[in-house]
A and B are shown apart, each in its own frame.
Chain A
Amino acid sequence: MAKVTYSGVRESKPGRLNDLGSTGQEVSENFKKGCLKRADRSFAQGLQCQQINSLAALMSLEDSVFISHSPQGCVGCAIMAIDMYRVGQIHRGIRNVKNPRLIVTNLDQKSVVFGGEKKLRESVAKAVDRYHPKLTFVFASCASGIIGDDIDAICGDLQNEYPETLIIPIHCEGFKSKICASGFDAAFISINKYILKHQKVEKEAGLINLFAPTTVSYADQKEMERMLQLLGAKVNYIPFYSSLEKIKKIPAAEASTSICKVFADEFMKTLYEDYDIPYSHTVMPIGIRNTDKWYRGIAKVIGKEKEVEEIIQKEHERIEPLVKKLRDRLSGKRVFICGGTGRSFAAAALIDDFGMKLVGLETPTYDDDAQVDIEYLNGIHKDFVVDIANMQPFEQVNLVKKLQPDAFIGVPDWAAKLGIPTTHVLDGKRPTMGYDGLLFLGNKIADQLENPGFNKKLAAHVKLPYKESWYSEDAFKYITKGEN
């Protein structure tokens, strides 16, 4: 059977959906019965597009220029990756902090009519002239896609003109996917196609690919590297803060794993198929259970099952008395969680370490991977609402106001205005992962719960934009059955 090439669009996987309102029990049963149908929302709020993720995945690479073939607005969100890159340098002790080299072709009315090829060519010429980069990435946009600029052909042509820099087009047109993580896949597909090119390289004993997105803090990087080194592994930490040389080393690894569930998961499959590199795809290492699971996953792949158990036992001995203290402070508290695919499920597992109760979970996609997590959560928590939504704060505030949780974990902007104590598990500047990250997060949640004054007072003064009538409506009112 011919191998089906993955397009990079996450919706192309059968059984994966983005719009659903349900409960833990109901969604799990319906998934098993095959009754979950792809749906839509007749009203929605803004999403994160995949181009944001493609850019963010690569923007800390050394000796690289990033060209957004788009109007100026499409590099707005690059500030998040730019900021992480700048702060990341400070955390790594670099004094002369640099900007990433980001060029926007700035498509305009003329380009819409006549095409943007000239602007793209000029941008690449500037990139080469200014920085002599080893890598030049060209990111597509909605506009470049719709006006029909053939960035593959243009980049191919430019590659001949500038043989000293690798020119890599990335197909991250925003309109192609509702799931922003598709942008990670688009980036990795191009890395494989233009850099690795299916070439086998000599294996390096003990080398592990550790895939990490920009949102992973330096503290977390060090913790993950420490844990893998305890297993005797050498870590190839990519692509955040890496280089062409480190990317070229990917096929030399003995195994791969990722810090995030939707980061490089498809790519690790490809690496297995194209370069025989086994991999571990488990969970995000947040909380005891997930950290154990993540750790055991990669240990198994490299044949260190015995060693990992010894380390885990030691870590548990060290950490459990401290976790117990947190459990005393947090046990029985009701929690609502909202986050990306990796972090939402990781947070849900984390709260079990502290004996907290899940009452609501908002996560962007449902698929067989999510089903595994939901079945696990159903075993712990009796009854919780599941909202398959990429943010959609209007649904969130409706649910949070009705459920009145003791704590909210996730993007704090809206729950805070309802007076609920909030904590975020996404902090690219501070620790969240591994055994030590767990304590940092636990203390953060417990302290917020103990001292909720800010949000309570805020709620008394600042109103969310929704009409009062909305809070008594069905939160899932705008989810339409079947595709619109």
Chain B
Amino acid sequence: MSEIMENPKGGCVLAGINSVLGALDRVCPIYHSGPGCCMQTTASDQGQSGHKHSCFVNSVSIPSSNMLEKEVVFGGLNKLRTTIQGAVDIIDADAYFVLTGCTAGIIGDDIASVTNEFFEKGIPVYPIETPGFTGDSNLGYETVWNTFLDKVIEKDVPKDEKLVNVFGIIPYHDPFWSGTLEEIDRILSRLGLRVNTFFTKKQGIEDVKKSSAAALNIIVNPWIFKGPAAKYESKFGVPSLRIPGLFVGATDTTKFIRKVSEALHLDNDLVEQVIASEEEYVYHYLGQSIGALSWKRFAVVADANAAIGYTKYLANDYSFTPVLVIVSEPIFRPEDKEAIIKEISDLEYARPPKVLFLTDQYEINKAIREEEQEITLLVGSSNDREIALEKEIQFILGSFPMSERLIFNRTYAGYRGSLTFTEDIYDNN
């Protein structure tokens, strides 16, 4: 199910799969697709996420069968076979995943028959039979984890009570993914946990394989990863804790710590000590800059995770006034929408903002243009700058897609990220 969209944010399912695989160390996607899919699907997510690309292979360095008219008519399995062989011969990867483009999907090429030839010889080549037209980047994230759960993750790995897996932060579909995972890792490590972020610290396929040892999956996202989470539990006995939105700032990050601590029965003294020192760190800075940021009535256009995080921080921790929140990623399940609205509306003192679910840029612009209440700050993506310029609203580039800034490891999430977010909102004009 896909909707007509103006200025869509992100790519097809292939783009999501490519982003996730590209964020793992030494994992090589192989495209069985038309000639442009490698470049298109890299540009749609990695290319609009702060100009950071997978360091291993991306875009035109990804092996591809480049299906042309001949393959469309006669099938492309021979081309796929020689492409995989070449990739295995020259690319020094720990695992290879064959992805299906629309062309291969529509003509019905049986890619698993070819990947099996390699797998039987002991070469780790896995098929992912989800053609581009079946969904968007978000689905790609779940598709990869479902593939891992079905084919890669090992059973009977000894349990590690201090190991946790972190999910819900989508590489390259979230421009701050790297910094966010590092901040989450930093905080959980202080609690004495070992953390699988999978996409930082040069983690790779071995960490994925052994992820069944974890004591807990922590899903930082209000709606994504329900299917894989259920499978982790039923197949590997790893339970999940859902954090229903990104935590930005002291209030929500502390809540996050308490929830994890409760789920894992962590040492209370240690937990309280960590919370106290982290909050002290944040307020030590906030206290040095009182009144530097003028009062704002704000709007947010972002994916659900960031929309929740930004709104709650600005409203609860910074006493700004929320006016309008637009969740701009496609969300189809009504119960997910309800949960997101509840999360955004659950504010300490501020009145809840209007919450809309819009993916189409024309409709997003229209909603902001026609908003009757005054807006003086808009946190959004590169696509949302136009309406901010039109309405002369201060604009902060804080969500995907993001093409006007370079982002390595910065984040707006967690304790430290909230300081960066606040720095960026400062406006001397």
Identify which of B43-51, B203-211, B263-271 touches chain A. B43-51
Contacts of A3 in B (CB 8 A): none
Q: Are B8 and A72 in contact, CB atoms less than 8 angstroms apart?
A: yes
B71 CB contacts on chain A under 8 angstroms: 175
* Nearest-CB residue, chain A, relative to B26: A465
Cα–Cα distance between A74 and B136 once the two chains are bound (Å): 11
Known: A103-B6, A175-B68. A484 touches B79 (CB 8 A): yes
How far, in angstroms, from A102 to B383 measured CA to CA in the complex?
Answer: 11
Encoded as 1 (CB less than 8 Å from any B CB) or 0, chain A from 61 to 76 comes to: 0000000000111111
User: In this assembly, does B290 line the interface, its C-beta being within 8 Å of a C-beta of chain A?
Assistant: no
> In the complex, are the beta carbons of A97 and B386 less than 8 A apart?
yes
Which residue of chain B lies nearest to A96 when distances are taken between CB atoms in the complex?
A: B389
- Assess the B5–A52 pair: CB atoms within 8 A: no
Shortest C-beta distance, A76 to chain B (Å), equals 3
What residues on A are CB-neighbors of B67 within 8 Å?
142, 175
A104 CB contact (under 8 Å) in B1, B8, B36: B8
Known: A95-B389, A102-B6, A414-B61. A72 touches B34 (CB 8 A): no
Q: What residues of chain B lie closer than 8 Å to A141, measured between beta carbons?
A: 102
A380 within 8 A of B: no
Give A373 Cβ to nearest chain B Cβ, in Å: 23
Known contacts A43-B83, A99-B7; is A73 also within 8 Å of B93 by CB?
no
Interface pair A52/B85, CB less than 8 Å apart: no
Residues of B within 8 A of A44 (CB): 63-66, 83, 86
Max chain B C-beta neighbours (<10 A), residue from A45, A111, A147, A392: A45
| A426-484 residues at the B interface, CB under 8 angstroms | 462, 465-467, 469-470, 473, 478, 484
Q: Is A160's beta carbon under 8 Å from chain B?
A: no
- Give A51 to B6 CA distance when docked, in angstroms: 18
| Residues from 239 to 290 in B contacting A, C-beta threshold 8 Å | none
State how many angstroms separate the Cβ of B108 from the closest Cβ of chain A. Answer: 11
Query: Residues of B within 8 Å of A, CB-based: how many?
Result: 80
Q: Smallest CB–CB gap between A110 and chain B, Å?
A: 8
Query: Do A174 and B36 touch (CB < 8 A)?
Result: yes
Chain B residues whose C-beta falls within 8 Å of the C-beta of A391 in the assembled complex? 60-61
CA distance A123 to B8 in the complex (A): 13
**In the complex, A42 Cα to B65 Cα: how many Å?**
9
The segment from B9-17, B141-149, B157-165 found at the interface with A is B9-17
Known: A42-B86, A174-B36. Is A143-B60 also a contact (CB below 8 A)? no
Given A107-B2, A130-B362, A176-B69, CB of A46 within 8 Å of CB of B37: yes
User: Is B376 at the interface (CB under 8 A from chain A)?
Assistant: no
- Residue of A73, A83, A99 contacting most chain B CB atoms (<10 Å): A73
B66 A47 Cβ-Cβ under 8 A: yes
Query: Separation in Å of the B221 CB from the closest CB of chain A?
Result: 20
Measured CA separation A174–B67 after assembly (Å): 9
B57 within 8 A of A: yes
Question: Are A467 and B133 touching (Cβ within 8 A)?
Answer: no
Is A101 among interface residues, defined by CB-CB distance under 8 A? yes
Q: Are A45 and B386 in contact (CB under 8 A)?
A: no
B11, A43: Cβ atoms closer than 8 Å: no
| Cβ-neighbour of B4 out of A104, A176, A413 (below 8 A) | A104
The residue from B42, B55, B135, B386 contacting A99, defined by CB atoms under 8 A apart: B386
Option from A46, A106, A390 in Cβ contact (under 8 Å) with B62 = A46
Which residues of chain B have C-beta atoms less than 8 A from A95's C-beta?
Answer: 389
Q: Report yes or no: A105 in contact with B72, Cβ–Cβ below 8 A.
A: no
A52 touches B40 (CB 8 A): yes
Q: Assess whether A73 is in contact with B87, with CB atoms less than 8 Å apart.
A: no
Q: Are A73 and B12 in contact, with the CB atoms below 8 A?
A: yes
- Contact assessment for A48 and B36 in the assembled complex, using a CB-CB cutoff below 8 Å: yes
Look across to chain B and name the residue whose beta carbon is closest to the beta carbon of A118: B4
A45 B106 Cβ-Cβ under 8 A: no
Whether the pair A76, B42 counts as a contact (CB closer than 8 A) is yes
> Which residue of B6, B41, B47 is within 8 Å of A101 (Cβ)?
B6
Q: Does B3 contact A (CB under 8 A)?
A: yes
Q: How far does the alpha carbon of A458 sit from the alpha carbon of B101 in the complex, in Å?
A: 34
**369-419 of chain B: CB within 8 A of chain A:** 382-383, 385-386, 389-390, 401, 403
Contact among B56, B83, B390 with A465 in the assembled complex (CB-CB below 8 Å): B56
Across-interface contacts of B63 in A (CB, < 8 A): 43-46
Q: Does A126 contact B (CB under 8 A)?
A: yes
Known contacts A76-B39, A107-B2; is A43 also within 8 Å of B390 by CB? no
Does A45 contact B4, Cβ atoms closer than 8 Å?
A: no
In the complex the two chains form, what is the Cα distance from A126 to B3 in whole Å?
A: 13
Q: In the complex, A80 Cα to B40 Cα: how many Å?
A: 10
The interface residues of chain A lying within 8 Å CB-to-CB of B5 are 72, 103-104, 106
What's the Cα separation between A73 and B132 when bound, in Å?
A: 7
Q: Are A72 and B103 in contact (CB under 8 A)?
A: no
| Interface pair A142/B103, CB less than 8 Å apart | yes
Interface string of B102-122 (1 = CB under 8 A from A): 110111000000000000000
Given contacts A143-B106, A147-B106, A470-B90, contact A108 B134 (CB under 8 A): yes
A186 to chain B, nearest CB (A): 13
List of A residues within 8 angstroms of B43 by Cβ: 76-77, 79-80
- B319 at interface by CB-CB < 8 Å: no
C-alpha gap A180/B41 in the complex (Å): 16
A107 contacts across to B, CB distance below 8 A: 2, 102, 133
Interface: B92 (CB within 8 A): yes
In angstroms, how far is the closest chain A Cβ from the Cβ of B55? 7
Alpha-carbon distance A484/B47, docked complex (angstroms): 33
Residues B61 and A83 in contact, CB atoms below 8 Å apart: no
Closest to B71 in A: A175
- On whether the beta carbons of A72 and B10 are closer than 8 Å, the reply is yes
In the complex, the answer to whether A77 meets B386 with C-beta atoms within 8 Å is no
Given contacts A49-B34, A95-B389, contact A74 B106 (CB under 8 A): no
Any B CB within 8 A of the CB of A394: yes
Question: At the interface, yes or no: B347 with Cβ under 8 Å from chain A?
Answer: no
Interface residues of A in 80-129 (CB under 8 A from B): 80, 82-83, 86, 95-99, 101-112, 119, 122-123, 126
Q: Which 4 A-B pairs have the closest CB atoms?
A: A43-B86, A49-B36, A46-B38, A76-B44
With A45-B61, A104-B5, A108-B1 known, 4 other A-B pairs at CB within 8 A are: A43-B63, A73-B44, A76-B15, A96-B386
Q: List 14 A-B contacts (CB under 8 A).
A: A43-B63, A43-B82, A46-B31, A46-B60, A46-B66, A76-B39, A79-B43, A95-B389, A106-B8, A108-B2, A108-B134, A147-B106, A178-B35, A478-B86
